[in-house]
Amino acid sequence: MSDSYVIIGDGIAGASAAETLREEAPDAEITVLTDEGESLYNRILIKEYAKGKLPEAPISIHQESWYDDHDVDLRLNTVVVDIDVENDAVHTHEGETFEYDSLLLAVGGTPQQLPVGNADAEGIHHFWTFQDARNIKESVEDAERAVIVGAGLLGIDFAAICGAQDVEAKYLMRGDNWWRYALSEEGAEIMHEAMRERGVEPVFDSGVDRFEVDDDGHVEAAVDPNGERYECDFAGVAIGLNFNTELVEDTPIETEDGIVVDEFMRTNVDNVYAAGDITTFNDLILGERAKNGSWGSAKEQGTIAARNMLDYGSDEFEWVSSYSITHFDFPFLSFGHPTLGDDSVEATTAEGEWRRVALKDGKVVGGVLIGDLSPQSAFKQLMREGRDVTGQEDLLMEPGFSVDDLAAATEQQ
């Protein structure tokens, strides 16, 4: 009898695992369970749909026929409610049971709601699924004024959507600049200016104390902790994710802000693996446990997990993640872990071009590039090679920086 593989989640991590399993184990029984009503689509392009820039069709990646053609049993609208690791089985909301030889948890996260009054009122949106994007598009097209909360990589998507749909927006931020954990005011100001040009006004030292609703329960204003009231008919909230670990709560599977896996994507239960946003993984580059939240990383983790499900120890995850913002006429890229480290260097390298590199024990652990992405590959290489750049940090700020510019003495320690 052939081995059976059950994958929970048909996002990029689960789907890339299914693809790899099928390629490398032609006879395997593969089942993919997803609570969404549609098969794999391009989650990083749904913002473009909500902006009104892309039709629906190019966002789909796997048509349902893909699963038939690859002999993968896809179950849409199927919520897994329980995992029984002793009997190697998962149970769904409709009482179905799927047994497995090997299980992959590629369940990602769910957007957090603001812990304030009326946070679930009509007109207040969170952004994760294609269905969310459809609802956002419909709602924003009828809106005149918006409020956005969450000064990070997903919040700025709401800002871009409002800008593209000519909705005047107030972007309420808690600190004094956008993504303050990764950018200083100088770098963030480039982003603020781009928002302002699109009719989105950053409001600093603000946030949301409560939402007010009209008689129909539709949001009509956000009130910030300073008592300022911002009228709106649309609100976008992107304050972070809750990782979907409740599924493993009653199992011995270890969790720590996600499901803990080794560099082979295996949990502490031998035949259970995890991949994608859900993992807290052993980061071989950083030398400690870490989390990534990006498309490229989730895809790679799915592939690596599948290989190790077939042959444990055969391939390890060693990857420098990156995430770009492409809403403006200049590019933005964050790489590695820009919010970590014990030191950093930053510089404005030309008008509208800024970069910051985060360092830990003299080694690059991440950074942000605005305007000029040309050193992206060099910085990633430094991370992969674990180069100690102590004493040469200023070179990293040179406009045409290349790895060869560093003295030979910094070669892998």
Ligand X SMILES: Cc1cc2nc3c(=O)[nH]c(=O)nc-3n(C[C@H](O)[C@H](O)[C@H](O)COP(=O)(O)OP(=O)(O)OC[C@H]3O[C@@H](n4cnc5c(N)ncnc54)[C@H](O)[C@@H]3O)c2cc1C
Please state the closest distance from residue 402 (CB atom) to another protein, in A.
13
Q: Residue 13 binds what, of another protein, ligand X, none (CB under 5 to 8 Å, by partner type)?
A: ligand X
Distances from the Cα of 394 to the Cαs of 37, 140, 327, in angstroms? 51, 45, 30
Q: Determine what percent of the chain falls in helix, strand and coil, rounding each to the nearest 5.
A: 25, 30, 45
Tokens of 406: 């560093």
Instruction: CB nearer to another protein: give 312 or 330.
Output: 330
Binding residues among 307-346 for another protein as defined by CB under 8 A: 322-324, 326, 328-331
Query: In sequence order, which residues have a C-beta less than 8 Å from that of residue 377 and are 6 or more positions away?
Result: none
Binding residues among 364-403 for another protein as defined by CB under 8 A: 373-374, 376-377, 380
Binding residues among 5-44 for ligand X as defined by CB under 6 A: 8-14, 33-36, 43-44
Among 169, 247, 305, 365, binds ligand X (CB under 6 A): 247
Instruction: CB nearer to ligand X: give 158 or 401.
Output: 158
Binding residues among 124-183 for ligand X as defined by CB under 6 A: 127-128, 154, 157
Determine, following the binding rule CB under 6 A, whether residue 188 of this chain makes contact with ligand X: no
Q: Residue 329 binds what, of ligand X, another protein, none (CB under 5 to 8 Å, by partner type)?
A: another protein
Q: With contact defined as beta carbons under 8 Å apart, do 122 and 217 qualify?
A: yes
406-411's contacts with Cβ under 8 Å and 24+ in sequence apart are 406/382, 411/385, 411/387
Q: With contact defined as beta carbons under 8 Å apart, do 172 and 200 qualify?
A: no
Among 22, 47, 170, 307, binds ligand X (CB under 6 A): 47
Question: Among all chains, which residue has been given the structure tokens 């603001």?
Answer: 114
Q: Residue 54 binds what, of another protein, ligand X, none (CB under 5 to 8 Å, by partner type)?
A: another protein
Among 16, 177, 267, 294, binds another protein (CB under 8 A): 294
Please state the closest distance from residue 21 (CB atom) to another protein, in A.
21
> Which residues, in sequence order, are bridge partners of residue 98?
90
At position 120, the amino acid (one-letter code) is: D
Instruction: CB nearer to ligand X: give 13 or 114.
Output: 13
Q: With contact defined as beta carbons under 8 Å apart, do 372 and 400 qualify?
A: no
